[in-house]
């Protein structure tokens, strides 16, 4: 079965960095678009970054220039390098992919908490 396991979250001061990892299993990772979402308390879940199988990348405007998404197909892992962190980045971060015959069934990891505070 599809399994996504996030790690790397924690408490960091403004301006600091964290690297989130998502370990994937149960599907052919190399042909799947992978996404990072985040959800802050009381807010809607937000798409943060996307990477396609051929390496096309997109980010939400608020993280451009600060976050970098990457993937290592040999390790079935997608990473989110987060630099120059701001308090507004505080959220639970989730790894995501889609499956099914029309690629509409979402799979989520358990989430990892990122808290940016002084």
Q: What would the pLDDT profile of 54-90 be if each residue is shown by its tens digit?
A: 999 999 999 999 999 999 999 999 999 999 999 999 9
98 burial via Cβ count (<10 Å: 0-12, 13-18, 19+): middle
Angle of CA points 74, 29, 69, to nearest 5°: 75
Confidence at residue 24, expressed as pLDDT on a 0 to 100 scale: 98
State the Cα–Cα distance between residues 27 and 29, nearest whole angstrom: 6
State the Cα–Cα distance between residues 41 and 45, nearest whole angstrom: 10
Is residue 103 predicted with pLDDT exceeding 90? no
The pair of structure tokens assigned to 15 is 């301006």
The pair of structure tokens assigned to 43 is 């807010």
Confidence at residue 108, expressed as pLDDT on a 0 to 100 scale: 97
Is residue 110 predicted with pLDDT exceeding 90? yes
Q: Which alpha helices (DSSP H) does the chain contain, by range?
A: none
């Amino acid at each position: 079965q599809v399994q996504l396991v996030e790690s790397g979250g924690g408490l960091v001061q403004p301006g600091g960095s964290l690297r989130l990892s998502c370990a994937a299993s149960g599907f052919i990772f190399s042909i799947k678009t992978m996404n990072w979402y985040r959800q802050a308390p009381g807010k809607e879940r937000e798409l943060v970054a996307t990477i396609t199988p051929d390496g096309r990348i997109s980010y939400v405007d608020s993280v451009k220039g600060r976050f970098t998404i990457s993937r290592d197909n040999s390790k079935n892992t997608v990473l989110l390098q987060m630099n120059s962190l701001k308090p507004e980045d505080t959220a639970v971060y989730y790894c995501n992919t889609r499956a099914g015959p029309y690629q509409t069934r979402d799979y989520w990891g358990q989430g990892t908490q990122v808290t940016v505070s002084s």
